Amino acid sequence: MITVIGRRLLWAIPSALLITALLFFSVAGLLGSPASFMLGQDATPESIAELNARLGFNRPLIVQYLDWMGRALTGDFGRSYSSHQTVADAILPRLPVTLELGVAAILLAAVMAVSINSITTGRAVVRPIATSLAVLGITLPNFALGLNLIFLFAVKLGWLPSVGWSPWSAGIATHLTHIILPVVTLSAYYYGSFTLVYRAEYDAISQRLFVRVAKAKGLSERQVSFRHVLPNSILPVITYVGLSLGQLMGGAVVTESLFSIPGVGSQLVDSIVARDYPVMLAIGMLTIAGVVIMNAAADALYAAVNPQIRLN
């Protein structure tokens, strides 16, 4: 198993390098030199050219990319142009916030999608409701859902805070009240996707011969559903979870900005506005590395969930 995961990671290295190159050239090509932004509107062309030469922005893009990649592979992502911190010092304090928000949202979506669609009691009532919520989660944008949740639970009912983030050190109850609305907002899309993917596989597996045999042996509907159908139907969900990290960053940008959460997503927005290349590129590289690792983890979970899977 470890050998297979290592082989998958090795195969992912060329793809990751290609994506980082596309990321670098896109950022540099679309946004241009940050020197004019850093010096302000009153900067002269001579001062802009001098800063470009000092920071190396007057070099060919391929040279800039190779220099950046060489330093990034050693863990040196440079310094932030806006805060003048090292990029690691700027990102690392915010990373746990985004990771907690993203992991909680994906786990909530996966658990709800799998459990609700595996329940056999009252299925005629539960399934239409689950389908309606899934379609709503997919079609309704994050910012629209978040604004509606803020209006209902924060403004009208006053049950939860509208914005902000509270660390664990402030107390478990305080932390949970601040994280509920952002997690629900971010998990809505994933719940809808997981529901549609899982239900299609669940219905197909339910028609298999071994399921009919289990029913013929006298097992209850609940036992058949959770013991036989669920383990064989959850594999597409695991695949989707492995691929969802890239989408997660996009959702985190909207959610963190909407709820004023000091995470990597809101930092990405700030870095784009400030044309802070080192921070932008470092966040992009972290996202790429996370997708590669999540895909390898999904491969490992296949065999753990379903022993019939053999990775050759």
**Smallest Cα–Cα separation from 289: which of 1, 2, 3, 23?**
23
Domain locations along the chain = 2-84, 95-262
Q: How far is CA 312 from CA 4, 128, 299, 303, in A?
A: 8, 40, 11, 11
Please tell me the distance from the alpha carbon of residue 78 to that of residue 34, in angstroms, as a whole number.
15
- Distance of alpha carbon 77 from alpha carbon 74, whole angstroms: 9
Per-residue pLDDT of the chain (312 residues; tens, 9 = 90+): 566 666 666 776 777 778 888 878 877 766 666 676 666 667 777 787 887 787 777 778 888 888 888 888 888 888 887 788 888 888 988 989 988 898 899 889 989 988 888 887 777 788 888 888 888 888 888 888 889 999 999 888 888 888 888 888 888 888 889 899 999 999 998 898 899 888 888 888 888 888 888 888 888 878 888 887 888 888 888 778 777 766 777 788 888 888 888 888 888 888 887 778 888 888 888 887 777 777 777 666 666 665 555 545
DSSP state of 79: B
CATH of domain 95-262: 1.10.3720.10
Q: Give the C-alpha distances (Å, rounded to integers) separating 301 from 11, 135, 200, 209, 231.
A: 19, 28, 20, 25, 11
Q: Give exposure, 221-258, as e/b (b: 16+ Cβ within 10 Å).
A: eeebbbebbbebbbbebbbbbbebbeebbebbbbbbbb
User: What is the chain's Cα-based Rg?
Assistant: 23
Which residue, 266, 238, 270, 273, is CA-closest to 251? 266
Around 53, how many Cα atoms within 13 Å sit in the side-chain half-sphere? 6
- For 184-208, b/e burial (b = at least 16 CB within 10 A) is bbbbbbbbbbbbbbbbebbeebbee
Neighbouring C-beta atoms of residue 95, cutoff 10 Å: 15
pTM given for the model: 0.79
